[in-house]
Structure 1
């Protein structure tokens, strides 16, 4: 379960402007050119990518180099990786055993998470991922997850925690969110035969979904994304919804005082 890349060290060679010394005479021993010691090698910070596939399960997990460059965040993602892999192994073993006892064919379980950068700001790193799982059902299931890393505090924060409350944030973005959600619903349902589904016709609370923070200027958050999993706003066949709304004055009014500097109206 959305980057700082280490840049190579530049070697600057300055010319003194002085006249070069006369070449040594043939009777003098040859002098080898001075060899400057090379700078210490830097350990490259690369993305981590794990792929395992066997008769029991298939596991994929990756995160970008920018996340690996932050020790605390790297440790957190590595811990989540191991936890997800251990859980998959345990559940797949149980599923394989149950299938064998019942005389059913066993299909390998799967788990995947590919973390990508949403926004990389001087004080914040925002990541998101689509998490996919299959455990023998009629079809795979998937949802979303996010990591908002506070570089200054050196800790993970939930995006909604930067606001006065979930209710306050929901109230500030609800109108724009519901309007865009309905627009996307109408587009997906046009000609699909699903029409207006009573169960999925009402708007939903955006803060009950995965909230991510984004930026269009690379300096501060000016966009709020809402990642809506299948079944939350429509039937499975409609898939997920991704709604983006701008940071407005109403949103700025409900940002907690200590985080005001991280936001700007978009």
Structure 2
């Protein structure tokens, strides 16, 4: 299941490395990452290890499910799993990636999830996007009004109501519950932030994910750790 993360935020030029889907009688499996990531040896090694670990997990769980259905005579439904990385931004210091995962394990429907990763070219290490901020609470404070205002409007567009379809999802989720992506319109510095509320975070499964791109403002910049502020540009 392929999903473009934040249309207009991901780089169109981030062609995935050639990695053929793996299929078996028990499961289908896809894991892709862009050529920019493949050119960074330690990052490629981590991605390949992650791919092998995930595939082994899926294979083991699907085989166990087949044995279970054979014992009790229930129908077997083939597992489906994918993990697809895309480039969000490639700046002088950072390679910013998004990831979309999908998992179907025999139930009524599958489940998708989102995330992000930064590769610090200077330090040669992986960083979680939220880790470049002084605190998640500080980032939440900087983004809360534009994020919640947008979510309210989007709920009206999708549902005809700002409160959602269920009281459970009537609130505006905090940034700690969201996937955070760092993007760049110029390739020089991060000047926009993508927020993704996956299914069941801001709405029901039927509503799908809520995704928005917001500009880096002075308030956002103040929430960035001093050692990373030079990598950001206020819009």
Choose from 240, 243, 254 the match for 2:212: 243
Deviations along 1:124-163, one digit per CA (max 9) or x if unpaired, are 1111121000001100111012121111100000111111
- The answer to whether the Cα contact below 8 Å between 2:155 and 2:164 also exists between their aligned partners in 1 is no
Instruction: Tell me if 1:161 matches 2:131.
Output: yes
SS at match of 2:145: helix
Gap change, CA 1:50 and 1:247, over 3 Å in 2: same
TM-score by length of 1: 0.80
The structure with more radius of gyration = 1
1:151 paired residue number: 121
1:25 paired residue number: none
1:254 paired residue number: 223
Choose from 75, 81, 89 the match for 1:105: 75
- The answer to whether the Cα contact below 8 Å between 2:139 and 2:223 also exists between their aligned partners in 1 is yes
CA distance in structure 2 between the aligned counterparts of 1:181 and 1:50, rounded to whole angstroms: 37
CA distance in structure 2 between the aligned counterparts of 1:252 and 1:52, rounded to whole angstroms: 43
Gap change, CA 1:88 and 1:196, over 3 Å in 2: closer
CA distance in structure 1 between the aligned counterparts of 2:112 and 2:164, rounded to whole angstroms: 24
Choose from 178, 188, 198 the match for 2:148: 178
- The answer to whether the Cα contact below 8 Å between 2:29 and 2:55 also exists between their aligned partners in 1 is yes
- The answer to whether the Cα contact below 8 Å between 1:168 and 1:254 also exists between their aligned partners in 2 is yes
CA distance in structure 1 between the aligned counterparts of 2:30 and 2:74, rounded to whole angstroms: 26
Per-residue deviation, 1:190:
2.8
Deviations along 1:241-264, one digit per CA (max 9) or x if unpaired, are 102111110111111110010011
1:61 paired residue number: 31
- The answer to whether the Cα contact below 8 Å between 2:165 and 2:203 also exists between their aligned partners in 1 is no
SS at match of 1:115: strand
Choose from 89, 95, 119 the match for 2:59: 89
Per-residue deviation, 1:54:
1.6
Gap change, CA 1:83 and 1:265, over 3 Å in 2: same
CA distance in structure 2 between the aligned counterparts of 1:206 and 1:79, rounded to whole angstroms: 29
Per-residue deviation, 1:98:
0.8
Per-residue deviation, 1:114:
1.6
Choose from 184, 187, 204 the match for 2:157: 187
CA distance in structure 1 between the aligned counterparts of 2:93 and 2:145, rounded to whole angstroms: 30
Per-residue deviation, 1:198:
2.0
TM-score by length of 2: 0.90
CA distance in structure 2 between the aligned counterparts of 1:207 and 1:213, rounded to whole angstroms: 15
Per-residue deviation, 1:48:
3.8
CA distance in structure 2 between the aligned counterparts of 1:85 and 1:49, rounded to whole angstroms: 13
- The answer to whether the Cα contact below 8 Å between 2:136 and 2:175 also exists between their aligned partners in 1 is no
Choose from 19, 25, 48 the match for 1:49: 19
Per-residue deviation, 1:50:
3.4
Per-residue deviation, 1:176:
0.7
